[in-house]
Amino acid sequence: MGAQRPGPGAPGAKQGGGGGKANQEHMAQWMERHSNLSPTDQQHALENEPGFRDLPPQTQQALRNRLTQLNNMTPEQRRRMLERTEILEHLTPEQRQQFRTSVQQLGMFPEDRRRLVARAFHDLREMPQPQRQAILNSDRFRSQFSDPERNTLSNLLSVEPYIPVQRPNDAPAVGK
């Protein structure tokens, strides 16, 4: 077939912490192009991507692990994961770091609080921005959530416009 399109680095691998190179193929595109291969052949194709061997060993292993993880998912799980990955690839480095930090903070909350914050996130993201802010700043909300919880919610919601709300009847966003 044709020449491999990815530039330096493997699909989805970031170099220098930037938003990716213009000639670098995204993970969803790479997976689509290699969907006809067995998982073993996909691993070989990944390892033969231009620049793959130039990546640090831990990055190479992380990419192999991600490919294995994707191949072990149901088609619906894989689609959702690739959509989220594609969305994150379009964030600025600052937004991506803010998102990662907020997700880490969320993970440090006790399980019951984590569930409550996650439920609030899902409820708030359905609302228009002015209504969100009014609720986040309300006395009721302040009494229900601690400052770190509200801060995490606020940070996640500030990146949220890039993460579309998926409803059961929505068509996949990848490739649009």
Contact criterion met (CB below 8 Å) for 28 and 86: yes
Q: Is 25 exposed, middle or buried (0-12, 13-18, 19+ CB in 10 A)?
A: buried
CB 87 within 8 A of CB 162: yes
Task: Give the whole-angstrom CA distance, residue 115 versus residue 104.
Answer: 14
pLDDT in tens, 89-139: 888 888 888 888 988 999 999 999 999 999 999 899 888 888 988 999 999
pLDDT, average across residues 21-46: 80
Residue 9 has pLDDT above 70, yes or no: no
State the amino acid at position 107 in one-letter form: G
Q: How confident is the model at residue 10 (pLDDT cuts 50, 70, 90)?
A: very low
Residue 116 CA from chain centroid, whole number: 21
Q: Residues 73-94: pLDDT tens digits?
A: 998 988 888 888 887 888 888 8
pLDDT of residue 161: 54
CA atoms within 13 A on the CB side of 43: 11
pLDDT at position 134: 92
